[in-house]
Structure 1
Amino acid sequence: MTTLVLGASGATGQLVAQQLLAQGEAVIALVRSKARLTTSDTRPEQLKIIETNITQLSAADYLRSCVGQNNPYMNWVVVRPDTLMDDAGATEYEEPSPVRSPIFDSGKISRINVSHFIMRLVKEESAWQHWQGQSPVLYNRCGAS
């Protein structure tokens, strides 16, 4: 399986790409600028970098409406973090997330937890089967940093 990482030169996308490559997974990295991609693992057989600018198009909306949830040629999960923050290590997080108001009750999730969740999708068949064709929103569990 090859994993497409949108925003692979950003803070969260780099964590995701680095963890996937470290586990021997094939990655297609979409970046605005190759210069910002700092992954030290650039084995050409595992990593394909595509430099492009995806405007404000919502990937989740595009996949739902244009590709469809049951497309036989493409399997997908769009992970939607709320307010991103930096943490050194993974903590507990909620999946599925509780219903929250993003304006009046926004939650936080660490970049490392988003990356951890994506690694679970790639490595654990049961997690992939559960979330395939969906767009889960993740939050750190209450009490976690």
Structure 2
Amino acid sequence: MTVLVVGASGATGSKLVEQLLAKNHQVKVIVRSPEKLPESWKPNGNLEIISASILELSDTEMVEIVKDCQAVASCLGHNLTFKGIYGQPRKLVTDATRRLCHAIKSNYPQSPTKFVLMNTTGNRNRDLNEPISFAQKCVIGLLRLLLPPHVDNEKAADYLRTQIGQNNNFIEWVAVRPDGLINEDKVTAYEIHPSPTRSAIFNAGKVSRINVGHFMANLIDNDNLWATWKGQMPVIYSKLH
């Protein structure tokens, strides 16, 4: 299978790429700064590195890049710097999701392309009745006002839910919602739930970036797992150990 990964130079995206390469998939990555990628990736014949800024590619270039891909994964996010949070592009994740989906549809693939979006537990799945406390609603309302990346994450998932939907002929999607991200060297036991089992604001859980990459790679690789979660926004927590 050929998989396109955007956000591959990030802390979680790099873990996803490593998991996909370990499963012997062909992987394409679009990165602004290829020099930031691990040196160990460079000789890998299964990896194609496209040096570009995702939002600066033309529609024609995007269509060509995704043409032979059976899956697309986005681990895009905003750098936790003042410029990364408040500078442009404020809708990086949403705009990239929209343009990638448009490129997939433009190719009229014979079978649906898998689209996996890394999202956040701070974002509710509005297709489900996910109750949250009044206090958490207040905090999230503040986040929308003060942190543009939070709104970007919400709008990216909403695009998949409302514009692609559940019955698209060309795209099937899963939006993976990790809780508090931590760094670990090895994959450990983790659990997946349809909705958060704890408050993302007041009682957040933890999940390692490598576990998120492992789950996203398994979604792409395993059709049974995909069938379980397609069109949903599963939440992932690492099990305590």
Pairwise TM-score range, normalised by the shorter structure: 0.7 to 0.9
Distance 1:8 1:125 in 2: 23
Is the 2:27–2:46 Cα contact (8 Å) retained in structure 1? no
Q: Which amino acid aligns with 2:11?
A: A
Is the 2:21–2:46 Cα contact (8 Å) retained in structure 1? no
- Structure 1 range deviating more: 116-125 or 49-58: 49-58
Q: Which has the larger radius of gyration?
A: 2
1:95 paired with 2:197, answer no
Change in CA separation of 1:78 and 1:98 when aligned onto 2, cut-off 3 Å: closer
Distance 1:76 1:48 in 2: 24
- TM-score, length of structure 2 as denominator length: 0.52
Shift of 1:30: 3.7
Give the unaligned 5+ runs of structure 2.
56-91, 93-148
Shift of 1:39: 6.0
Distance 1:32 1:10 in 2: 11
Partner of 1:80: 177
Q: Which amino acid aligns with 2:198?
A: R
1:35 paired with 2:35, answer yes
Distance 1:6 1:64 in 2: 20
Shift of 1:69: 2.7
Partner of 2:104: none
Please, what is the CA RMSD of the aligned residues?
Answer: 2.4
Structure 1 residues 87-134: Cα deviation after superposition (integer angstroms, max 9, x where no partner): 121111111164221111111100111111122212222111111122
Q: How does 1:47-58 map to 2 (within 5 A)?
A: 47-49=48-50, 51-52=52-53, 55=92, 56=149, 57-58=152-153
**Helix, strand or coil: the match of 2:41?**
coil
Give the unaligned 5+ runs of structure 1.
none
Distance 1:50 1:76 in 2: 26
Change in CA separation of 1:3 and 1:70 when aligned onto 2, cut-off 3 Å: farther
**Helix, strand or coil: the match of 1:75?**
strand
Distance 1:110 1:117 in 2: 11
**Helix, strand or coil: the match of 2:188?**
coil
Higher helix share: 2
Is the 1:82–1:102 Cα contact (8 Å) retained in structure 2? yes
- TM-score, length of structure 1 as denominator length: 0.81
Q: How does 1:1-145 map to 2 (within 5 A)?
A: 1-38=1-38, 40-42=40-42, 46-49=47-50, 51-52=52-53, 55=92, 56=149, 57-58=152-153, 59-96=156-193, 98-141=196-239, 143-144=240-241
Partner of 2:135: none
Distance 1:6 1:60 in 2: 16
Shift of 1:137: 1.6
Change in CA separation of 1:52 and 1:61 when aligned onto 2, cut-off 3 Å: farther
Distance 2:192 2:5 in 1: 20
Distance 2:20 2:191 in 1: 22
